[in-house]
Amino acid sequence: GESVGLHLPTLSVQEGDNSIINCAYSNSASDYFIWYKQESGKGPQFIIDIRSNMDKRQGQRVTVLLNKTVKHLSLQIAATQPGDSAVYFCAETLGQTSYDKVIFGPGTSLSVIP
């Protein structure tokens, strides 16, 4: 398979604090990046995306930052809530040639402490 990594990093944050989840992507040719949230027993849910011609994109309570120089992606969640507890995946697509072939990172488990 093409998934990266076997170990699931974990992050614990206090309710109300900001969360930052980091991701290193593998292919410098990737031009589209997505963050997904997966709650227990459910499929991944789209959160926010960013194209390679952007450095930052903001959504509702979430911000994605892209640093192409070091192939790094981050997801910032403002005022983290208990409902944000889930596994977060970054994903990259080889958009020029592979359409919907999406490569996922190993995921980060976020636990929000009430």
Partner 1 sequence: KAGVTQTPRYLIKTRGQQVTLSCSPISGHRSVSWYQQTPGQGLQFLFEYFSETQRNKGNFPGRFSGRQFSNSRSEMNVSTLELGDSALYLCASSWGTPGNTIYFGEGSWLTVV
Q: Which stretch binds partner 1 (CB under 8 A): 9-17, 26-34, 54-62, 67-75?
A: 26-34
Dist. CA 68–CA 96, nearest whole Å: 16
For residue 40, state whether it binds partner 1 (rule: CB under 8 A): no
Q: How far apart are the first and last CA of the chain?
A: 37
The number of residues that bind partner 1 (CB under 8 A) is 31
Cβ at position 110, least distance to partner 1 in Å: 16
Among 13, 19, 21, 36, binds partner 1 (CB under 8 A): 36
- SS3 for 88? strand
Which residues between 63 and 102 bind partner 1 (CB under 8 A)? 89, 93, 95-96, 98-102
Of 42 and 69, the one with the shorter C-beta distance to partner 1 is 42
Dist. CA 110–CA 113, nearest whole Å: 10
Dist. CA 94–CA 75, nearest whole Å: 20
What sign does the dihedral 72-88-8-90 (CA atoms) show? negative
Task: Return residues touching partner 1 (CB under 8 A).
Answer: 1-6, 31-32, 34, 36, 42-46, 49, 51, 89, 93, 95-96, 98-107
